[in-house]
């Protein structure tokens, strides 16, 4: 009985995390929105994810670009960082980012980005293809769809707004 109940809880938690992440269909056009709708994202955010500690900083939008940085460390050691840019592209926008190892070795080729296309914008929420960001008060939750060896998982990151 206890095992069945535990599995029910795990399945519910897992399925609710999957429900948080939206995907565009193969030929679906991206959603419409303006970078200026994301002013709720501005600031310094700290929290956990990937089994370690994370920080994100988002600066106010300038010229239809909202620039941010991310860093992840585990056991006091920097593992990787990201440079992020949310860019207005006509009636839509996308999140483009580059990953860097602790020694600043890039993961992507010089002219390549990891790109998340917009699905939709909500109140204090943005849904990209494979990534969701939602703010509630001074907390932001992110859900990121990852696929490794054909297995899809959802990583949840939880941040709290901090002062520098």
pLDDT per residue, tens digit, the chain (164 aa), is 444 333 333 333 344 444 688 887 888 899 999 999 999 999 999 999 999 999 999 999 999 999 999 999 999 999 999 999 999 999 999 999 999 999 999 999 999 999 999 999 999 999 999 999 999 999 999 999 998 888 988 999 999 999 98
The tokens for 152 are 């899809």
**What are the extents of the domains in the chain?**
2-162
Alpha-helical segments (H) within the chain: 2-20
pLDDT of res. 19: 63
Strands 92-101 and 65-74: unpaired
pLDDT of res. 5: 36
Q: What is the pTM of this model?
A: 0.84
pLDDT of res. 22: 84
pLDDT of res. 120: 96
Contacts of 59 (CB under 8 A, 6+ apart): 42, 66, 67, 68
Burial string for 66-81 (b: 16+ CB within 10 Å, else e) reads bebebbbbeeeeebeb
CB 162 within 8 A of CB 57: no
Pick the CATH number of 2-162 from 2.40.128.20, 3.30.930.10, 2.115.10.20, 3.10.150.10: 2.40.128.20
């Amino acid at each position: 009985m206890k095992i069945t109940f535990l599995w029910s809880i795990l399945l519910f938690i897992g399925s609710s995390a999957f429900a948080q992440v939206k995907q565009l269909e193969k030929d679906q056009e991206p959603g419409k929105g303006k970078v200026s709708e994301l002013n709720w994202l501005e600031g310094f955010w700290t929290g956990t994810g990937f089994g370690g500690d994370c920080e994100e900083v988002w600066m106010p939008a300038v010229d239809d670009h909202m620039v941010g940085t991310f860093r992840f460390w585990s056991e006091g050691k920097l593992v990787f960082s990201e440079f992020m840019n949310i860019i207005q592209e006509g009636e839509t926008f996308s999140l483009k980012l580059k990953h860097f190892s602790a020694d600043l070795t890039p993961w992507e080729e010089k002219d390549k980005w990891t790109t998340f296309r917009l699905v939709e914008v909500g109140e204090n929420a943005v849904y990209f293809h494979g990534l969701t960001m939602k703010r509630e008060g001074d907390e932001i939750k992110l859900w990121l769809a990852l696929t490794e060896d054909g297995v899809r998982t959802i990583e949840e990151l939880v941040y709290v707004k901090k002062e520098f």
